Structure 1
């Protein structure tokens, strides 16, 4: 690794800061088991705690695969075997609302081929999930729904965007996966993650809420104004991002977007992935399982729907990871088989097994990362090899 070339990361990031497009951030680069670059941009610091949002999903993937390896989770089984409400799913189509013909499988949850959507206003499925999600939150806070599992069963009332297995759609699938894990283990999802993943990986600052004693370390949340410059986020932005009470237990432990963490904690997780399932002599999952996890899962007929997502052109998807399959299409100097994911406040990571490379980038901006900027980071890092 050419360390001098990595200095271009400073220039790239400072340029963003001078333009007002970025303020606080952290970036780590590890190569061949050594940290070759690390920087923290004020007001962020080495131990800043960030909301991971969808970078929670790869952790949920590992949690599911721990049970898969133990023979406790069959990926071909029906979600309704664990969460009965999913036996009655309905599909929203141009022809109207009809009962789903295909059952949602665990494999569908892991590959986002379930048809389960997020809240929104794009089509009947998103509108129905907007209503159901609001009801679930109200009912959980009032005590009508008593657990994460109850919330998952409630979300089954939202319409699916398509017949399970017939398309790709980003949505609450990983949140439902966490509910399945709770049913199998009989433990709260947070307890399972702490015992099976966070403690073995020394991820001391990772969880669904921030301890009061660490609250001063929370990274500042920003939003972009009309000119694209970042300014501190107001309380209504925090409410939209469901970050208004970071030191309180959440109403729903979401396996898709709920965790807080630090760059160093997440580096431990990425190191375990790079080391084929082991960290400092502790094996979380076996190398064959990790290989399966990071193998492209979407068939060619569905892959194009994944490419519609920002930053995913040239990639396939599987088990909550994007996996680089076509560097030319992605305009990337990266390696085939490189994998990772990002989060909606702009966190981003990837692992490249062939180059023994890890990159972790953290920020907190409503609206997520600038993918041109992220491509710049990737180009510089790969250009230094």
Structure 2
């Protein structure tokens, strides 16, 4: 009779298997430790490219309302990013904020896109597109007048009353028709500068008329989508544009893309958004010899281009009452934006100091 051998009862097998398993397991653990050892090292935080800017923002954080984002762009890339918040998750470059009068920069850029296409001219009369302007003795107001605060139409006084007045209108058509039919002409177009929301809203309405689209859709097509500004909009709670002059909501991350496009001669990620000629026109001082009847104190001493302010002939910006401050320095070839969540009236001195720190950090040709 052949005897069956049970390997599990064989002493040799019992002694051999545990040794083999232990060797394999030991080898596996050794390899695992080697693989994990670099991961166990503490992550090295790279040094800030602008420590003096960091220190300035931290020391003034409370004055900016605790929550603040600062970005800088140069040589085709984002070179600086600082996000400060009172509590984790409170604020960052992706959170929407009111753009304030920086909205007018977007309005002007959208107008210039149609100028590039030859569909309108800055010196076209508004009455050509909106006949009610001719009916009420406002025939000679041009699109250029609208973007340079020289329409001559009586504006609301600055302050809370102006904000209440804007809320009356459900859309741009109603608002602009009211400007034509219910507002007096205080002075001839192109004879004095008076800052208000009237002109930019009229310019935006002209685009609605010629395209038969809402202004939000127009600016999406021409500027926002090409610049990947996905979180920027001009729509109100009812889904329409009732205020183009300071009605945009945006993010710091979005708006730096817009500045990058302007800085890069109208190009964004290989796509042409605006011509160099259009951008040069936006950054040309309009009506430099006219008397200034009213400008916000934040813009005192600045000259107005189309939708933006010009300082010292080389800095283009939009310093405004909400604290939202984007700018381009053409001499130093960089763009930056400072966005506090707090919308109280800012102190201009803080912004001047911020730019001085940024100039020192990013003003060199190789930075």
Judge same fold: TM > 0.5, yes or no: yes
1:152-191 equivalences in 2 (<5 Å): 152-156=176-180, 157-171=182-196, 172-191=198-217
Stretches of structure 2 lacking an aligned partner (at least 5 in a row): 1-46
CA distance in 1, matches of 2:302, 2:60: 26
| TM superposition shift of 1:201 | 1.0
| TM superposition shift of 1:36 | 2.2
Instruction: Output the TM-score relative to the length of structure 1.
Output: 0.73
Q: Which residue of 1 aligns with 2:284?
A: 295
CA distance in 2, matches of 1:286, 1:130: 35
| Residues 1:316 and 1:4: Cα distance change in structure 2 (over 3 Å) | same
1:36 aligns with 2:61: no
CA RMSD of aligned residues (A): 2.6
Among 105, 111, 114, the alignment partner of 1:58 is: 105
| Bigger Rg over Cα | 2
CA contact (8 A) 1:132 1:155 kept: no
| TM superposition shift of 1:51 | 1.0
| Residues 1:358 and 1:165: Cα distance change in structure 2 (over 3 Å) | same
**What is the SS of the residue equivalent to 1:17?**
coil
| Residues 1:179 and 1:346: Cα distance change in structure 2 (over 3 Å) | same
Stretches of structure 1 lacking an aligned partner (at least 5 in a row): 90-98, 141-146, 210-245, 326-335
- Number of residue-to-residue matches in the alignment: 310
CA distance in 1, matches of 2:133, 2:200: 14
| Residues 1:133 and 1:262: Cα distance change in structure 2 (over 3 Å) | closer
| Residues 1:155 and 1:345: Cα distance change in structure 2 (over 3 Å) | same
| TM superposition shift of 1:251 | 5.7
| Residues 1:360 and 1:252: Cα distance change in structure 2 (over 3 Å) | same
Instruction: Output the TM-score relative to the length of structure 2.
Output: 0.76
1:240-319 equivalences in 2 (<5 Å): 248-249=237-238, 252-302=241-291, 304-305=292-293, 308-319=295-306
1:103 aligns with 2:103: no
Q: Which residue of 2 aligns with 1:347?
A: 324
CA distance in 2, matches of 1:132, 1:263: 28
1:321 aligns with 2:346: no
1:16 aligns with 2:16: no
CA contact (8 A) 1:119 1:130 kept: no
CA distance in 2, matches of 1:318, 1:11: 33
